[in-house]
Structure 1
Amino acid sequence: MTFDIVTANADDIARLRVWADDEGWNPGRSDIHAFFATDPHGFLVGRLNGEAVASVSAVRYGEDFGFIGFYIARPAVRGQGYGIQVWRAGMARLAGRTVGLDGVIDQQENYRRSGFRRAWNNIRYEGVPSGADPSAASDGIALVDARTIPFAQLAAYDRRFFPARRDAFLASWIGLPDRTGFAAVRDGELRGFAAVRPCAGAARIGPLYSSSPGVAEALVGRLASAVPGQPVAIDIPDSNEPSVALAERLGLTPSFEAARMYTGPVPEMDLPGLYGITSLELG
């Protein structure tokens, strides 16, 4: 038997979304296009006798940050050492950087042995929002199509909530045709930003940045109206108590949990304004 670890090709990238669906992660239907554009060399696949059986993404952001995701070994080969080989190749690609990941519960001890430490838990709150008020943002704040915001302004705002600039990712994320994004603006200043995209299950809202619970509620309400009657899911840092309280007040309930973990110190970010992360797969 031969086992080779190679850079994923376009067919592999499409396959990873199916694998993630099989794991119950519910990625966005077109997320992989934004992921691939971010770092085309950052997706690794393990092939056993030519067949893809394991994967990991090891995506580089800037000069000193990286994110691990899509760590999957297919059920038929688990426990045979192929997954850990792919993991080591991914970590080697990010050597010398602070690395983040979202660790499912049954893998967190393994991640700790690899030098990761928990920063907070991301809890997925899911359901049809009840009573989300698109007018809850007050004090002169308007909600506008995020694609009308100058990209440099939007990218600078996004950087407040993420450990590195990610312009290529963000441009793809808001530009894909199947998603809707809104920005909260007052006197030309961004006070919030959120996007929703279709998934196999609940439509996922992410990111969700906000200067206040009222702005967050307005953004959720506006995005929910873009997918009327459908359940939505938001991956909320449990350290953001106002966001958790908002989700519960809107009738959303926990359905999934993963620990945000980092090697080294937790990067500096505007955590109080981080009402929902962008994705569990790439941060």
Structure 2
Amino acid sequence: MTGTAQRTPGRRGVPTTPGRRGRRPGESRGYRVFQVVNGIVLTAVVVVTLYPFVTIVARSLSDEAYIISGQVNLVPRGFDLTAYRLVTSDAMFWTNYRNTVVYTVVATVISLVLTTCYAYVLSKHRLRGRGALVGVALFTMFFTGGLIPNYVLITSLGMKNSIWAVVLPNAINVFNLLVMKAFFESLPAELEEAAAVDGLNTYGILLRIVLPLSKAIIATMVLFYAVSFWNSWFTAFLYLDRQELLPVTVYLRNLIAGATGAGSAGVVPDADAVQAAATLQSVTIVLTTLPILAVYPFLQRFFVSGVLLGAVKG
């Protein structure tokens, strides 16, 4: 009929008027409430996460008098770089810093090579003995030989006071291994079959087909291993006795121990000395975390995609 809007049956028999868009689930009141609550929760998590680090940065840039009086929170008071000059003028700090860079690079390369090879082998379901290899990896994930047997083993192998005592004992992280294995299993098998038909052997397939398609997971593993080795201190503290071989994390640990050692020994430490030590700790923490903060933004895209691809098998 002319001039009369024709009503047509909508979803579940509910009539709708032409030209009027139905409300999508994403535009419902409940979804908008969820978005608001989700935004508030995530903002709170960001604030709680950033608060300690921002406070450490503020303390490292503040005058010691304001720190002693407790007036430094999120904003530096009495801008002062004396603590930075004291730390950076210490030759041992730079020696330990260089050691950390060397240990991290060497350990990450070794771990990445071993994890990639092991994960690629475990991703082949037709491999004989695959279950035993997976079992060995999982067993080491839940059970270890203990601190004393590990110390005796490293010492008997002649690796004490050497770089190998730091980079070899934790060369393969089982969690990273399983994530990488899941990623390799998600790759299409037809690609490797076609490469085999073209004459490539196993190593050629891995180097020329699999690895170029695995940039995301490789970047993720690099980030995982690099952060782990960069922050590690107990292994070096256990196996390295010479000061010039220690990483910067042990240097930081010694600063913290020096600030709290007098109190733990039953001697009341001077408040000014404790605050000065706390300032040096703040400076060392900032200088130690700067490389990770500088590298992470460039690897974040690969990090997120790599974890998703490796954790969910399509």
Q: Same fold (TM over 0.5)?
A: no
TM-score tier, shorter chain, comes to: under 0.3
Higher helix share: 2
If the length of structure 1 is used for normalisation, what is the TM-score?
Answer: 0.25
